[in-house]
Amino acid sequence: MHFEINTSELKAALKDVSGTVGGAMPITACVLIEPDDDRIKLTTTSLESSTVSYIDGLGEGFRIALPHRELTAIINRAKSESVRFELVGDLRVKIDAGRAISELSGSDPDTFPTVHAGDTSNAFNIDAKDLLAGLEYISYAMSKDVARPSLNGMFLQQDGGKLTAVATDGHRLVVHDFGEVAAELDELKKGVILGREGVLSLQNVLKSHDGNVMISVGRTVSASVGTTQLNFSVIGGIYPSYRHVIPSRSSGDTVTVSVKDLLDAIADVVPTIQRDLPIARLHLSVDGCTIRSRGDDMFTLVDLGDLVWPSTELEIGANVNYLTDALRAVTTDEAEITFNGPLKPIVFRRADADDGSVSIVMPTRI
């Protein structure tokens, strides 16, 4: 038995399914390859999330679970227009990729965990580029702390027709407003928490896809784009109330800064920052504004140049990594930063934007 697959399509499919490879069972390091009518179906799962991708294939297909890492390395080196897979023994496959011919030992496909497709009866569509922009804006703030599972992902909720995504790790909070979506789903009105792994996998897939993404919400959540579908784990529990943490736009003192210039200033103080406590000190006054690294034995002081402070003197400390992440997520040349006091949230918004998207960094005592 054998089949052939276009090399470029196979490379793209293996990349799409790569985000959900690996889990507690050895078989999850494999990609399940099997025929599906006149197509070839590729599946990976981490047991928490899974990805399925379909590509055209010619020949008599067969089921096999092959190690994803080794298969990807072989296919990425392939020079031929198509790749031929041939079953040459019990769970052993010959791969003809032009000048290079390889053989891989696979695993029993019947031991591969069952992956269920999402229920498309409760679904809505969203533009892939808009969804990718939103995920890139908030994903860095998802917690990695397994002791707080409800924060270990992204909270997705529909309120008044508008779709909102939220991520926080307890030190920073990011809210992104996707705007209105056509369908109103009861499940989304309550809100769902999508696992971190699935969110990052979807972000990876969207980088190479255009068009609409169909997101279905039920006992599980799935996202379909092109010929690829991701199935997300849904985290149980209650997401913390976050709206009361966000100061109003009119509160505090707001300055408009060049994102590039402030990132450069932060980069200048990093060489003398304490590695175990990467805190920078911002000094804001009508006489001038500076940022300096924290520490007595060595420091760097950077003049913030054209930044104009409109109020009484303020000195505030913040983690430079958190400041950098918040600034890099801003897609405009300028950002509005609102300071509410030395121990109150620092709020980042896109300059001249009124879309409800905000990034918040909690300051540090200095």
Task: Say if residue 199 is in the same domain as residue 238.
Answer: yes
* Residue 38 in tokens: 């006149």
Task: Say if residue 89 is in the same domain as residue 127.
Answer: no
Domain closes at, from 61, 89, 111: 111
Domain assignment present for residue 201? The answer is: yes
Domain assignment present for residue 116? The answer is: no
Task: Say if residue 167 is in the same domain as residue 212.
Answer: yes
- At 226-262, the pLDDT tens digits run 999 999 888 888 899 988 888 877 788 999 999 999 9
Distance CA 247, CA 35 (A): 54
Task: Say if residue 22 is in the same domain as residue 58.
Answer: yes
Domain assignment present for residue 117? The answer is: no
Distance CA 320, CA 328 (A): 12
* Residue 319 in tokens: 């983690």
* Residue 89 in tokens: 């023994």
- At 289-347, the pLDDT tens digits run 999 997 667 889 999 988 889 889 999 999 999 999 999 998 889 999 999 999 999 99
- Identify whether the C-beta of residue 209 lies closer than 8 Å to the C-beta of residue 224: no
Task: Say if residue 36 is in the same domain as residue 10.
Answer: yes
* Phi, psi of 191, deg, nearest 5: 95, 145
Task: Say if residue 53 is in the same domain as residue 145.
Answer: no
Domain with residue 283: its CATH number is 3.10.150.10
Residue span of the structural domain in which 218 resides: 123-243
Distance CA 115, CA 61 (A): 20
- At 187-201, the pLDDT tens digits run 888 899 999 999 999
DSSP 8-state assignment for residue 355: S
Distance CA 51, CA 13 (A): 10
Domain closes at, from 243, 275, 299: 243
- Residue 18 confidence (pLDDT) above 70: yes
pLDDT of residue 295: 67
DSSP 8-state assignment for residue 286: T
- At 257-286, the pLDDT tens digits run 999 999 999 999 999 988 888 999 999 999
Nearest Cα to Cα of residue 12 among 51, 38, 47 = 51
- Identify whether the C-beta of residue 82 lies closer than 8 Å to the C-beta of residue 96: no
Task: Say if residue 237 is in the same domain as residue 146.
Answer: yes
Which pTM was predicted?
0.87
Task: Say if residue 277 is in the same domain as residue 211.
Answer: no
What does 49-113 look like in DSSP terms, one character per residue?
-EEEEEEEEEE----EEEEHHHHHHHHHT--SSEEEEEEEETTEEEEE-SS-EEEEE-B-GGGSP
Provide the pLDDT confidence category of residue 12 given band limits of 50, 70 and 90. Answer: very high
Count of Cβ atoms closer than 10 Å to residue 313 Cβ: 10
